[in-house]
Amino acid sequence: LVEGGAVSSHTLTINDQYTGYSAVTVNDNNVTSPYTLQNGDIIKVPTLTQGIMINGTSYDTRSENVLNISNEDITVVRTGAEKTIDPVPYITINYTA
């Protein structure tokens, strides 16, 4: 919270918002970047590309992790060719404000 009771907003920024199975979703919905984060948002990042960075930490294809992020912006950078993997592995981010 900021002085005066105003809530500071944080954003989810996605460098490459792929479509279909490769899309980053918030609460199982496709979003456009930048997206204003809400308390309780659940962000799913498919790990289908060679390079995935979330807030500066690198993850591999097929990484499956759960991250708990509070009160900060979230940046997702994905590079490289998409791979077809079934089932689709995700990094799940639980956001709290």
Question: Distance between terminal CA atoms of the chain?
Answer: 9
Q: Which of 1, 91, 5, 18 is nearest to 55 (CA)?
A: 91
pLDDT digit string (tens) for 6-65?
Answer: 567 999 999 987 777 789 999 999 999 999 999 999 999 998 888 899 999 999 877 889
Q: Are strands 74-82 and 11-14 parallel, antiparallel or unpaired?
A: parallel
Tokens of 93: 């981010």
Whole-prediction pTM: 0.86
Please list, residue by residue across 34-64, b when 16 or more beta carbons sit within 10 angstroms of its beta carbon and e when fewer do. ebebeeebebebbbbbeebebeeeebebeee
